[in-house]
Amino acid sequence: MAIQHRRPRGETRRTILRVAARRFQQAGYHGFTFAQIAEELEIRSSAVHYHFPGKPDLVVAIFQRYREHFAWWCEQQASDRLAPLDRLQRFLDLEARNLDGERVEPLGLAGVEYASLPASACSEAEALRDDVADWLTGVLAAGLDTGDFQFGAAPRDQARLVMAGVQGALQLARLRDARDFTAVRRALLASVGARGV
């Protein structure tokens, strides 16, 4: 009798989410199907539907996954006890990863497709936006306290400026190349009055 190999419990769901997140970032909400995910993973479409009954459920889970990953990343920065400038630099490094593989940054994608996303996915996207804004606000406020940063705006407003700059830089880079992201990165660091940059 042939032995059937089964994936460990939970692995199929995690794999579906990983593939779906990549396809979502590459093609948007309307640019991929359950059948494509199933074909790539060599499973039946019914297996995808078992874990995610509909596309709204899948996209909500994708944004929850982004939030979990960002929360984990924030914990790593805290455990490293980095200076505010180093934390900001690491955030910009994190965003720069979206330059590879023709991926659109999740918040940028949510902004473009907001009107056509399910309401539940919009709520998760908004929560991710708030997670990022809260973290950046804390870093920028800490930098003001230590004297590493010098800027006149409220830290939360400055955080929104950094977020908007990153989104714009990633879009510009898609039209040409990573030099646009690098240029905006320099300007963002200058906008916070970062010393030694």
Q: Sort residue 127 into left (φ over 0), alpha (ψ -120 to 50) or beta.
A: alpha
Q: Per-residue b/e over 148-166, b at no fewer than 16 CB within 10 Å?
A: bbebeeebeebbbbbbebb
pLDDT tens, residue by residue, 126-184: 999 999 999 999 999 999 999 999 999 999 999 999 999 999 999 888 888 889 999 99
Across all residues in the chain, what is the average pLDDT?
A: 90
Phi–psi pair at 112, nearest 5 degrees: -70, -40
The domain segmentation of the chain, as residue ranges, is 62-191
Residue 125, φ and ψ in degrees, nearest 5: -65, -40
Tens of pLDDT, residues 41-79: 999 999 999 999 999 999 999 999 999 999 999 999 888
The yes-or-no verdict on residue 2 having pLDDT over 60 is: no
Return the CATH superfamily for domain 62-191.
Tetracycline Repressor, domain 2 (1.10.357.10)
Structure tokens at 57: 């459920």
d(CA 108, CA 164): 9
pLDDT of residue 197: 63
Percentage of the chain modeled with pLDDT above 70: 93
* CA–CA separation, 153 and 95 (whole Å): 23
Tell if the pTM clears 0.75, that is, is over it: yes
